[in-house]
């Protein structure tokens, strides 16, 4: 049995998995409730009381995996891969980027685990792109080797956010007074949604009081706040720009997938948003992008499913 964990900037999701099975005993913890990642592992294992304990593990982390030391981008945790392996006596421990894990989940998704947005038809075994706003902005992709898909480890959420039109140029001009670099993640994330709301208020000459991403989304969905609705539409349009750039970069004729915790909360607003129109708005390459399907992942724990795929792909799993 293997322990699997998907560790984001805000939440950590744990499960265990046996060979040939699916993730079981899925539990979510708030990262802020635990002083360290091992402390969260201890709490999960103490809750399950497994006998024998897991013999190995696989973790998806919202951070670059560049060596033994993992430092998270959007929370205070850090850990040593070898230290965790030795502490728990794992025979093997695999650590990959969290969006690489989500990418690996895509071949395992059922029809009910995704919602198609717009037209287009996927080409079998073509490259696949993945992007997702959450605490940060995750980016990955899948490349077919001739025998199986390989995920891409990426920090693509940190690319510079380009303006599509004069309205977006005004927004970015204001933000550049505060930030040396306005990345895609700066706006296409939970904190970014709140920042975008404030910037749009400035552009329109309105003084707006600070609102959380949750409040902006709720008020936009209820129709009680026009600036909130405009913020959601601007967010989705900008996401369409970055998703299209990724699709062109990868040649993602196998489809573009939207993950993360932010967009599913938009509900029908996302379907009606400018996302798909903006995705296809690339001048001479509009027709190319119109042929690429875009999907919203609705599975609650795609990272855990991807770790399951990773474990199953090992000959000793």
Residue pLDDT, tens place only, 62-111: 999 999 999 998 889 999 999 999 999 999 999 999 999 999 999 999 99
Tell me the pLDDT of the chain averaged across its residues. Answer: 95
Instruction: Answer whether residue 291 shows pLDDT above 70.
Output: yes
Q: How confident is the model at residue 316 (pLDDT cuts 50, 70, 90)?
A: very low
User: Rounded to whole angstroms, how far apart are CA atoms 221 and 306?
Assistant: 31
Q: Which domains does the chain have, with CATH numbers?
A: 2-103+301-312 (3.30.420.40), 113-298 (3.40.367.20)
- Residue with the bigger pLDDT between 156 and 206: it is 156
DSSP characters over 209-270? ----HHHHHHHHHHT--HHHHHHHHHHHHHHHHHHHHHHHHHT-TT-EEE-SSSGGGGTHHH
Token pair for 258: 């939207």
Q: Please give the pLDDT value at position 315.
A: 43
* Phi/psi at 131 (5° precision): -145, 145
pLDDT (mean) for 41-48: 96
Least confident of 46-60, 260-274, 302-316: 302-316
The predicted model gives 149-176 an average pLDDT of: 96
Task: Give one word for 157, left, alpha or beta, with left for phi > 0 and alpha for psi -120 to 50.
Answer: alpha
Whole-number percent of the chain with pLDDT over 70: 99
Residue 179: pLDDT band with limits 50, 70, 90: very high
Distance (Å, whole) CA 306 – CA 100: 8
Q: Residues 171, 227: contact at Cβ < 8 Å?
A: no
Integer distance in angstroms from the first to the last C-alpha of the chain?
Answer: 9
**Which burial class, exposed, middle or buried, applies to 144 when counting CB atoms under 10 A from its CB (0-12, 13-18, 19+)?**
middle
Determine the average pLDDT of the residues in 113-126: 97
């Amino acid at each position: 049995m293997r322990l699997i964990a998907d560790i984001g900037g805000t939440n950590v999701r744990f499960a265990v998995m046996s060979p040939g099975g699916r993730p079981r005993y899925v539990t979510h913890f708030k990262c802020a409730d635990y002083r360290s990642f091992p402390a969260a592992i201890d709490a999960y294992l103490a809750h399950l009381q497994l006998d024998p304990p897991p013999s190995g593990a696989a973790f998806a982390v919202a951070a670059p995996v560049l060596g033994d030391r993992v430092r998270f981008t959007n929370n205070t945790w850090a850990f040593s891969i070898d230290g965790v392996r030795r502490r728990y006596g794992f025979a093997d421990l695999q650590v990959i980027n969290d969006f690489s894990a989500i990418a690996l989940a895509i071949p395992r998704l059922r029809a009910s685990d995704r919602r198609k947005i717009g037209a287009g038809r996927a080409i079998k075994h073509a490259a696949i792109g993945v992007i997702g706003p959450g605490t940060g902005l995750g980016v990955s992709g899948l490349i077919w080797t001739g025998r199986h898909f390989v995920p891409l480890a990426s920090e693509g959420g940190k690319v510079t956010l380009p303006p599509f039109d004069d309205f977006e140029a005004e927004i970015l001009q204001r933000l550049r007074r505060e930030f040396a670099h306005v990345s895609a993640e700066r706006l296409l994330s939970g904190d970014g949604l709140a920042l975008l709301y404030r910037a749009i208020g400035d552009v329109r000459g309105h003084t707006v009081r600070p609102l959380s991403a949750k409040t902006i989304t709720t008020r936009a969905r209820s129709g009680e706040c026009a600036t909130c609705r405009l913020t959601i539409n601007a967010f989705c349009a900008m996401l369409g720009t970055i998703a299209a750039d990724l699709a062109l970069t990868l040649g993602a004729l196998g489809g573009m997938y939207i993950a993360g915790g932010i967009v599913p909360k938009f509900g029908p607003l996302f379907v009606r948003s400018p996302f798909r129109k903006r995705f296809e708005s690339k001048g001479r390459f509009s027709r190319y992008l119109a042929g690429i399907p875009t999907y919203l992942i609705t599975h609650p724990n795609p990272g855990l499913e991807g770790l399951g795929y990773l474990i199953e792909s090992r000959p000793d799993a």
